[in-house]
Amino acid sequence: MLAVLAASCLCGYRAYAGARPVIGGIPSSSFFDAKTAVGNDGMLRLIFDYNTSKFPTLTYGSGPGSALWIIDPNGSVVAAGSPTIPASVGSDVFAVALLNSTFNFLNERSNLAIFAQPSGNTTVLFYYNTGNAGLGNTNSFATWTYNSSGALIAAAGPYAFSGLQLAGLYFDPSGKIIARWRAGTSASSPNAAWVLDEFGTILNSTLFHGPFGSTFLGKIRLNSSNQQIWPFLSKNASGQYTTTIWTFDSFGILAHAQVYGPF
Amino acid sequence: MVLSTLRPLLLLLAGAVVGSLITFGLLNLNRNAAVQANAAQAQPVPPKTLRAPSGNVQDEDEPGNADTVNAETQETANLQKTSDSTVRTALKIAEEKVPMRPIPKAKMVLQPNGLPVGVTQDAGISEAYQQLPGIQPPLINRDGRDMGQEAIQMLQNRQEVPYPGGIPSASATPMPFPRTVEEANRQAQGYASPLATP
């Protein structure tokens, strides 16, 4: 009996030694999102990029842009978005990020992501760079919302602020948009975040928090009350990790903080 | 006497007649089966009206095959030629037209409350804008108008503005990670303007 207990303690200790909380990473990126989506209505939303030239350029021209199609389960197009998204919207975030390729139409050239909302609407999220091109330089965004017939029913933004970049811009699984503003280029720079609904309405915003040195913010999540949940990762001098979970109230004020570790 | 002498001969003749009839019947059955097999080869499934041009059409036109079909089959084949020609033409036209179905145009349908489908009464309304002075709420289509041009102009009119309440300096000295909620909020308030405080 004692031997079993000793073995359990030893195994348990080994299991927790150096435990590192996983609060983001490639499988849960805080940037980008899908360009296809299926809603609760079973309809597929699809983006068509109308390419005017064979090879992409950094700003992919002033061609016709991109179109949203809504396709039923039988493959029939039931609606097409109007108006067409102009090619001048957004900048080269996706083209540069995806392999920096110049192959024929290998990568997506529209700088947007879409989400099929539970209401049947489709929200389009536009990514913009200003100045330097490439990943990490996105500093503004805008949204459009089409209804189930493809008609444009809402437009918001673009939001661009001096000295701020977007460290995160994506759809939460609920369809809400999370925009994480960062003052500076370091991973530990101060952050503030907004939550927007399917129409691009800002539901709440936090104040700026940080910089916190070697403590890093992971992917921000939402609960069903639209409260932001911020996971932090810290590493002490002994190489052990601590995670701190912050929960904001629905007005964006920090309401709870809980620290775990080191284990 | 004579009758008794002829009886075996009559029986032999009757047997020959019966045998001939059976033989004839069997041969006739085989012939019909051969005709039906040829006919089946000439008329594959699916039905003729849906048939696309294929090698089977040409086989039917070959002289060897034509000899085996009866008059009814020949008549059907003539009708089929006309049908195939129509189908061929239709397919050719369809191939030239891509996509085959027109893409539906967006329709603005209004709900009983007068708002376009997909728009809710509280769309675009939020208390959060009180904490973000200067930031405009979204443009919401409340009357069913075509707001394409307005939306495109909005997207093209992108200007950097100061963040409401100001932002921390990018070169600020890192602060210790707060241990409590109060400490975190106190740190954050240092960046916030009075307007940004709820």
The 10s digit of each residue's pLDDT in A219-230 is 999 999 999 999
Would B99 be classed as within a structural domain?
Answer: no
Mutate to test the interface with B, among A48, A76, A147, A206 (most CBs of B within 10 A): A147
Q: Which residue reads 């996706």 in tokens?
A: A94
Would B36 be classed as within a structural domain?
Answer: yes
d(CA B95, CA B91): 6
Who has greater pLDDT, B134 or B80? Answer: B134
Q: Which ranges in A44-129 belong to alpha helices (H)? A: 93-97
Structural domain for B52, as ranges: 21-72
Residues in chain B, how many? 198
Would A124 be classed as within a structural domain?
Answer: yes
* Residue A165 near residue A137 (C-beta atoms within 8 A): yes
Question: What is the ipTM for the molecules in this complex?
Answer: 0.83
Would B39 be classed as within a structural domain?
Answer: yes
Would A175 be classed as within a structural domain?
Answer: no
Would A119 be classed as within a structural domain?
Answer: yes
pLDDT at A230: 95
Would B180 be classed as within a structural domain?
Answer: no
Who has greater pLDDT, B64 or A105? Answer: A105
List B residues 87-146 in contact with A (Cβ-Cβ < 8 A): 101, 103-109, 116-120, 123-129, 131-132, 135, 137-141, 146
Would A89 be classed as within a structural domain?
Answer: yes
Taking 60 as the threshold, does the pLDDT of residue A1 lie above it? no
For residue A161, give the DSSP letter: B
* Residue A241 near residue A216 (C-beta atoms within 8 A): no
Task: State the CB neighbour count (10 A cutoff) for residue A95.
Answer: 24
The model's confidence at residue B94, banded by pLDDT at 50, 70 and 90, is: low
d(CA A176, CA A202): 10
Taking 90 as the threshold, does the pLDDT of residue A91 lie above it? no
For residue B27, give the DSSP letter: H
Would A58 be classed as within a structural domain?
Answer: yes
Nearest CA in chain B to A209: B188
From A2's Cα to the closest Cα of chain B, the distance in A is 39
Query: Tell me: the pLDDT tens digits for A140-193?
Result: 899 999 999 999 999 998 999 998 999 899 999 999 999 999 998 887 889 999
Would A206 be classed as within a structural domain?
Answer: no
Number of structural domains (chain B) is 1
d(CA B156, CA A159): 12
Q: Which ranges in A99-164 belong to alpha helices (H)? A: none
Would A102 be classed as within a structural domain?
Answer: yes
From B69's Cα to the closest Cα of chain A, the distance in A is 43
Taking 50 as the threshold, does the pLDDT of residue B1 lie above it? no
Percent of chain A with pLDDT over 70: 75
pTM over 0.80: no
**DSSP β-bridge partners for residue A113:** A125
Number of structural domains (chain A) is 1
> B155–A202: do the CB atoms touch at under 8 Å?
no
Amino acid at position B118, single letter: G
Would A223 be classed as within a structural domain?
Answer: no
At B156, phi and psi to the nearest 5? -80, -15
Three-state DSSP state, A210: coil
Structural domain for A148, as ranges: 26-160
Three-state DSSP state, A228: strand
From A171's Cα to the closest Cα of chain B, the distance in A is 17
pLDDT at A7: 42
Amino acid at position B137, single letter: P
Q: Which of B123, B150, B174 sits opposite A212 (nearest CB)?
A: B174
* Residue A127 near residue A159 (C-beta atoms within 8 A): no
At A12, phi and psi to the nearest 5? -65, -40
d(CA B109, CA B164): 38
Taking 80 as the threshold, does the pLDDT of residue B35 lie above it? no
Distance between the two ends of chain B, CA-based, in angstroms? Answer: 139
Taking 50 as the threshold, does the pLDDT of residue B123 lie above it? yes
